[in-house]
Structures are given as C-alpha cells and as structure tokens.
A and B are shown apart, each in its own frame.
Chain A
C-alpha cells in the first residue's frame, strides 16, 4: 500500500508540474499551451541524448533540456501566438498550437528515432525499505522537487516585483502597460519558467515512461486534466489537482481493469468542470463562501 501511495504521489507530482507550467502560461495569456506535452518530451529526449548516448553527466542533460525547451517555447511564442493579435478575441491559437505539437512530435521521431530508451533514475535507482514496501528515492525526490518548485513559484508570485507584475499582466495586460510594465516581457518570462519546469518534469518522468518521441502522449493529457481539476492558473490548485489525480489513478487500478485508468481521470475532470468550473479549490468548503479572487 505504501508503495502504491509513493508511486501515485510521484506520478501526481509530475501532473502537478505540468499543471503548474500550463497555469503559468494561462495566467498571463489566457491560452492553454497544447504543446506542453511535446515540450516535455523534447526536453527529456535531449537529456537522454546527453546522458544515455554521449554519457555526459546527469546535470548536463538537465541543463541541455532546459536550454532546448526554452528555445522551443520562444519559437512557439513567436510563431504560433505573437502574430495572432488579441488572444482573448480569437481562438486561432488552438489550431496553431495543435499544429505545432504535431510538428514537434514528428520532428522528434525523425531526429531521435522511434525507440523506447531506458532513462536513469535519480541515485541510480536506490530505494528505501519501509516494512514490506520498497520506495524509490527517485519517487520521494520527485515529490519533494515538485513541492519545492511550487512553493518557490508561489513565493515569487506573492513577494517579488516580478511576481507582482506577473499578477498584474494576468489581470489585464493593457492596465499593466499603463504601470510601465512590459507585458510582453513578462509573458516571455512565463514561457521561460514553463520551459524550465517542463525540463525538470521530463527527466523525472522519463525513467517511468522510457524516453521516446511518444512518452508524453497519454501522460501529457493528464497535465491538462490536473490543471482543470485544480483550477486553471491556480498554483495551489495545480498541486491539489495533480496529487489527487495521481493518487486516484493508482488506487483505482486496485479495483478496476488498468485499461480504464485513463478514462477515470477524464471522467473526473469532466465532473469537476461541470460541478466546480473554477476547480476543486473553488468549492465552498475551501473558500468559506467567499469568492476566490486571489489566484496564482
């Protein structure tokens, strides 16, 4: 049971990181970055090439993933979004981003091949035994990293000048500009942060999914589910949504055929969207009847 719990929470932590990155971009642009799963994959494949093929140190792989992801996120911003004008008043971004994710997946398949490549766990797969359960240090650290990243981001948003500006852009880019804030710069920084989070999430999940061009096809969708369950653009919500989804999936496979696991996640997401459109944290028991004005 502890083993299942640890695995569920570590998968949940990955969902949470995805939801967080999706939320970072959503909060300043009001778009859902449909490329996010592909970006995670590209980062993880980059890291795999550094670590698995060229035998470079682990941290070099992570750094390379961060750099490649950042570049790709900027390319996405400039090619798929910048030229579309006001993103609130048209939905062309849905098409451009979907298109871009297909392009990324195909190019990745061509560049990296179609193999499923093993990817190293942190600490070479060392584990700790508690009673009759064996928990990987990798899983524990995945959870810890995710929480540390989430808390750090939340602190940045609440306590720093950049965070204040980010929340201002998130409310209304026009008004933020009147304060002398370059809304464009803030949005680009959000894309950069999202790229970093994607790189870290990618190397942490790759040992489980294996590194391949299709590693994030299913898991990627869960990121959006977690984001919507937790409430889009809500940092705490991303973690609540992510962990909830990871746990429910692992526990539910004890009772239903594993093939139905993914369906359950999305049924859950649909139910939350119908009954709590603002995410689970918008439920009365969390807000004490007040509206959740303070997001991010």
Chain B
C-alpha cells in the first residue's frame, strides 16, 4: 500500500527549547494509526506541525509524496488534511450549522456544501436537532461529534484527532471510537492521538509510542497493546 504520510527525522522547538527530537513515522492509505504518549510527550505539537499551524525546525513531512512542512494550514485543508484539535475547539457563539459551514470554508460550491451538511446531519441526527443552537450550549459528546463533522465537511483524505476522548464519559468514548472504526474502508485515513489508549488500540491497525519527544516503540496495535511497558504506562485504568 502507498504511504500517504511520511515524517522523517522531524525536530521541533518552541523558541530554543527542542521538544521533538527527530521522530520518524508513516501512515499508509486507509490505515488507522494511533499515536500514544503521556502528558507533554509532544503529541499536540506533532499534530500542529502536521496541520501547518507550526513550523518544524528540521526534517521533512511528506504527504502524497510532496514535502508539506512549509505550507499554510489553509493550503493543507485544501489538500485534504484536517485536524480535530485538542479540547474540540467548537466555536461557542456560532450555531451548529455555522460551525459546519466554517468547516466547509474552503469549499466553493454551494451545492457541495449543502450535500455535505445533509450527509453530516444524517450521520449525526443529534446535530440536526440542534442545528440552530449555539455550539457552546452542546454537551461534551455532542461537541466532539460536531468537531468531527466539521472536519469532515471538506471530505478530507487524512483526518487527525487530538485526544478525542478527553473529558468524555466512557459510553460517549465508545461512540466516538465506533464512529472512527466505521471510517475503515471508506478511503479515509486516520491518525488518532490518545493518552489512555485501550480503545484506540482496539480500532487501529498500527501504533506508535511517543515519550518526551522521542518515538520509543512502534508496531501493529496488537503488538503494542501486548507490550508490558505499554500496559503499565498507558493501558492502566481499564
């Protein structure tokens, strides 16, 4: 299978403090890949770099064979890379519908936007009921669904999610994970970042473990989930 994304020896620094010390990983087309790491490991930093929000210090990010490490977030959205950011970042004073319209900001065709919105509402009936409600009034689970729907408005190729389970009740986390699992086979490629990784490993094909800016382990999800160190550090509260 072709590699959709290939990160090579990526380093990242906030000012003079390097926090990502040359990591390499890849994602194949159609895969679900989980990136596990503790607080401060550099997960969000990695995703922000991949989505163009921040510039890497060195290394390369190849997407569909081209280096995208110097591109703007707008151009990456147009190329099909979408990030569902940590903490969901729903626009609280925009209605649900407006949040979805913002998700489709780069889409020019009104018809395409309408169709996409309709299909999102079919997939997430709760959002249809609340279409005129402000984003800030939704429950945490609804906000996460909205954040994902918002990112899907441009039919992305690579969907990246930064700790989508953060702060959600276990039953809602199940729902989110089932949703992500359902993307399997639709052509969508998923990079999932999690701290507590039980369910993420269940639905993903492969996994990487990031520790204080270094990639310390990789393998199939089953291999990673079976590793004693991973079990102790990341699969604790089952």
Contacts and interface: CB of A to CB of B under 8 A. Distances in A.
Given A165-B102, A293-B136, A178 B91 contact: no
B93 A182 contact: no
A222 interface: no
Interface in A146-173: 161, 164-165, 167-168, 171-172
A177 B73 contact: yes
B136 A180 contact: no
Contacts of A181: 74, 102, 105
A182 B74 contact: yes
A177 B92 CA distance: 16
B51 A178 contact: yes
A179 interface: yes
A295 interface: yes
What does DSSP make chain A's interface, helix, strand, loop or mixed?
Answer: helix
A217 interface: no
B93 A295 contact: yes
A294 interface: yes
B43 interface: no
B192 to A, nearest CB: 17
Contact of B134 (A164, A168, A294): A294
Given A180-B74, A293-B92, A175 B85 contact: yes
B117 interface: no
A115 interface: no
B73 A180 contact: yes
A180 B78 CA distance: 7
B154 interface: yes
Interface size of A as a range: 10 to 19
Contacts of B89: 172, 175, 178
Contacts of A161: 101, 105
Contacts of B102: 164-165, 168, 176, 179, 181
A175 B82 CA distance: 11
Nearest to B77: A180
A42 B154 CA distance: 45
Nearest to A294: B93
Interface of B: 51-53, 72-74, 77-78, 82-83, 85, 89, 91-94, 98, 101-103, 105-106, 134, 136, 150, 154
A165 B101 CA distance: 10
Contacts of A168: 91, 94, 102
Contacts of B106: 179-180
A178 B73 contact: yes
A178 B85 contact: yes
A86 to B, nearest CB: 12
A180 B91 contact: no
Contacts of A179: 77, 102-103, 105-106, 150
Contacts of B52: 177
A178 B82 contact: yes
B156 to A, nearest CB: 11
A167 B85 contact: no
Contacts of A167: 91, 93-94
Nearest to A172: B89
A167 B94 CA distance: 8
Given A165-B102, A177-B72, A178-B89, 5 more contacts: A168-B94, A171-B92, A179-B77, A180-B106, A293-B93
B159 to A, nearest CB: 12
A294 B52 CA distance: 29
Contacts of B94: 164, 167-168, 171
A287 interface: no
9 contacts: A161-B101, A164-B102, A171-B91, A175-B89, A177-B73, A179-B103, A179-B106, A181-B102, A182-B74
A293 B105 contact: no
A174 interface: yes
A181 B93 CA distance: 17
Nearest to A295: B93
Contacts of A182: 72, 74
A87 B74 CA distance: 21
A292 B231 CA distance: 46
A177 to B, nearest CB: 4
A282 to B, nearest CB: 14
A294 B78 CA distance: 29
A235 to B, nearest CB: 13
Given A171-B91, A181-B74, A164 B98 contact: yes
The 9 closest A-B pairs by CB, nearest first: A180-B77, A180-B106, A177-B73, A175-B89, A180-B74, A179-B105, A179-B102, A180-B105, A293-B93
Nearest to A176: B102
A178 B136 contact: no
B84 to A, nearest CB: 9
A5 to B, nearest CB: 35
Given A165-B105, A171-B92, A172-B89, A177 B74 contact: yes
